[in-house]
Structure 1
Amino acid sequence: MVAAGSVLAGVGYATLIERNAFVLREVTMPVLAPGSSPLKVLHISDLHMRPQQRLKQAWLRELAAWQPDLVVNTGDNLAHPKAVPAVVQALGDLLSVPGIFVFGSNDYFGPRPKNPLKYLTKPDHRIYGEPLPWQDLRAAFTERGWLDMTHVRRELEVNGVLIAAAGVDDPHLSRDRYETVAGPANPAVDLRLGLTHSPEPRVLDRFAADGYQLVLAGHTHGGQVCLPFYGALVTNCGIDRSRVKGPSRWGANMQLHVSAGIGTSPYAPFRLCCRPEATLLTLVAAPIGGHDAGVRAGQSHPSVSVR
């Protein structure tokens, strides 16, 4: 009885409390060219929005108070065919900030019930739901000035920092076509930045080979269910559990940041030891002569206020 009660308490906490305990994390990453000014990048991912999720929408609206220089959205914004207005209204003033994005599987297809054990036994198993209005979401983003990075290379200047960016469609659905953006990134810029929804090693290796300094991704939900002293049970992609969320190194000269994401599937509405989050990345100049400086994780902020 005690064990059953503990399980029920854990499920209740993961479902009712932690999945709504949104947090903003701050991380400093030394990836810019020497002499570059710092750049504040807000990395958001995996909103999995439904129209009636008022608490999540209100928290997202507050993120603009941190005044990022650039917003990077790595996909899975939708979880309902009528969620586009909710996403746009929740992002609010962030859509007036320079932004770039790629989409994920749950921008194209709605969620469907799935046995959670399949993430352990058959991680490559795919179940597609109803088509979602990703074209409407793309139009809403681009009309506000955000740039679609799906199979595109672009150079843009943000707050005096020159960025060469490239992105691919979601590798989780095998939609990535890296050859469309392949080739060495411009070495003369201050930051070479790659975007992908799912951080699949085959894509990360290509970005690294082409000289990108930083790749941003989502998809993993940080494992969504983690155990104390062990961490995530699964990553739902090809990376190892140690890289399931936050910053890490990929290869000799590239950094990776994986967002733990903000939402969950409506059919798996829980998080355990893995709070929903966005990340404010402060990108600073790398030390002259190499990329050996560490990544410094800063504070986490359960609520957002103007500094």
Structure 2
Amino acid sequence: MSKAQRWPRRMVSGAAKVFSLGAVSAVSATLFGLVSARQFGMRYETLPLLPSGHAPLRVLHIGDMHLVAGDQAKINFVRGLAATRPDLVINIGDNPGGVNAVDDVLDALEPLLEFPGVFVPGSNDFFGPHRANPLRYLRAPSTTDGAEKQHEKIDARTMFEAFTAHGTWHQLCNQSTTVQLRDGRKVHVAGTHDAHMQADKWPGFAITQDSQPLLKIAVTHAPYRRVLDAAVADGADIVIAGHTHGGQVALPAYGALVANCDLPTGLAAGLFTWRSAGRSALVNVTAGIGASPAVPLRTFCPPEAVVIDLVSADQARAY
């Protein structure tokens, strides 16, 4: 008689119940994650960064759409963000979720291209997703090594040219510029190529005749420490980033399991202060609108776009 046959009936029954409960829990968690990934929402921040006497300045911070072709619900959400009436749109990249999604990305962003804006690229603007073990996402940061061979290429050039065709958006790929807002005010903005691709080089802020710019904004796709250090040391008032998806898979009372960069998981999303070279600045990391196509679920870190109202210190008391 085999060992399995000698087990008491109640032991076999108990093991079957444990297995069944585990299977049900796994299915429930997956369904919860799939549903949560579609709960598009907004986060609002009010930050006293402007000099006294200046009118508020609204920044719309978006990114990590990972838009799959035909996803009309996500397209509608992004298009609807124009209703926030931003003074400046900042797009931190990873727009398409596949090689055939560029037209849908342009459809989603079309209303926002009417506003002044800047953008930086992420690796998923250049390469489509490929099949992978979802558990790899929880073990360690992803890598772009060999992406040229493993992934189909996305027509990033056409997409980026469409972004700038209106003359309102500026690409910041290891570059800096001065953006003039609709009311005539100017902000200095500098951004990097994707640090996750090891393609970043901090450009410094543009040197212009504006000796005291209204604001210095740094933009990067992936908030690696070296980029935050360089931007803050160079005088940035705020750094805008994404890439992390807020951990994408988080646990209640614990938070993100991974940050997919060299930040601690506790900084995988939200607003925090970063210090470098005796200076300090705020950093806002968006949890992003989408999810990794290889792991299309989110738990306890819902997708988001972020509205940042920049005000003077005296105005902040009224908010």
State the TM-score, normalizing by the size of structure 1.
0.88
Aligned residues: 290
The Cα of 1:26 is off from its aligned counterpart by 0.9
Give runs of ≥4 in structure 1 deviating > 6 Å.
182-186
Residue 123 of structure 1, CA deviation: 2.1
2:63 to 28, 40, 45: 45
Structure 1 residue 286, shift from structure 2 partner: 4.5
Gaps of 5+ in 1: 288-292, 299-307
SS at the partner of 1:31?
strand
Q: Structure 2: how far apart are the matches of 1:51 and 1:286?
A: 44
1:204 corresponds, among 216, 221, 228, to: 228
- Percent identity between matched residues is 40
Counterpart mapping for 1:188-199 below 5 A: 188-199=212-223
Separation of aligned partners in 1, 2:52 and 2:262: 33
Q: Could you tell me which amino acid in structure 2 is paired with residue 80 of structure 1?
A: G
Give the AA of the match of 2:162.
A
Deviation per CA, 1:78-120: give whole Å up to 9, x if none: 1211211101111221110111100101001111223333344
By relative contact order (CA 8 Å, sep 6+), the higher-ranking structure is: 1
Deviations along 1:45-101, one digit per CA (max 9) or x if unpaired, are 001112111110111111111111111000000121121110111122111011110
How big is the shift at 1:6? 2.1
| 2:257 paired with 1:233 | yes
Gap change, CA 1:174 and 1:182, over 3 Å in 2: farther
* CA contact 1:78–1:84 (8 Å) conserved in 2: yes
Are residues 183 and 163 of structure 1, via their aligned partners in 2, closer, same or farther at CA, if it must alter by over 3 Å? closer
CA 1:91 to 1:23, structure 2 compared with 1: closer, same or farther past 3 Å? same
Map Cα deviations across residues 210-241 of structure 1 (whole Å, 9 max, x no partner).
Answer: 00110100100010011000000010001112
Contact 2:99–2:127 (8 Å) recurs in 1: no
Partner of 1:70: 88
CA separation in 1, counterparts of 2:108 and 2:62? 12
Counterpart residue identity of residue 260, structure 2: N
Match of 2:298 in 1: 271
Work out whether residues 245 and 259 of structure 1, in 8 Å CA contact, stay in contact via their aligned partners in 2.
yes
- Residues 252-297 of structure 1: CA distance to partner in whole angstroms, max 9, x if unpaired? 421100010011122211001111110111011247xxxxx99xxx
Contact 1:36–1:161, Cα closer than 8 Å, also in 2? no
- Matched residue SS, 1:106: helix
Q: Secondary structure at the match of 1:7?
A: helix
Match of 1:149 among 160, 166, 172: 172
Which residue of the partner structure matches residue 137 of structure 1? 159
Separation (CA, whole Å) in 2 of partners of 1:4 and 1:104: 36
CA distance in 2, matches of 1:275, 1:204: 25
Tell me the residue number matched to 1:3: 22
User: In the alignment, which residue of structure 2 is the partner of 1:105?
Assistant: 123
194-203 vs 159-168, which moves further: 159-168
Q: 1:182 deviation in Å?
A: 6.6
- Residue of structure 2 equivalent to 1:216: 240
* d(CA) in 2 for partners of 1:153, 1:91: 22
How far is the alpha carbon of 1:181 from its aligned partner?
A: 3.2
Do the aligned residues in 1 keep the contact of 2:123 with 2:144 (CA within 8 Å)? no
- SS of corresponding position for 2:306: strand
Query: Post-superposition shift, 1:160?
Result: 4.4
In structure 1, C-alpha distance between the alignment counterparts of 2:75 and 2:272, rounded to whole Å: 29
Unaligned runs of 5+ in 2: 1-19
Paired residues of 1:183 and 1:210 also in contact (CA < 8 A): no
**SS of the counterpart of 1:242?**
helix
Q: 2:288 aligns with which of 261, 269, 288?
A: 261
How many angstroms apart in 2 are the aligned matches of 1:187 and 1:201? 28
1:37–1:161 CA contact under 8 A, matched in 2: no
1:243 aligns with 2:261: no
Rg larger for: 2
The reply to whether residue 168 of structure 1 matches residue 192 of structure 2 is: yes
Question: Which residue of 2 is the match for residue 56 of structure 1?
Answer: 74
Q: 2 CA distance for matches of 1:171 and 1:68?
A: 27
- CA shift in 2, pair 1:106/1:260, >3 Å: same
- Name the aligned partner's letter for residue 37 of structure 1: A
- In structure 1, what residue type is equivalent to 2:311? V
Matched to 1:274, the amino acid is: C
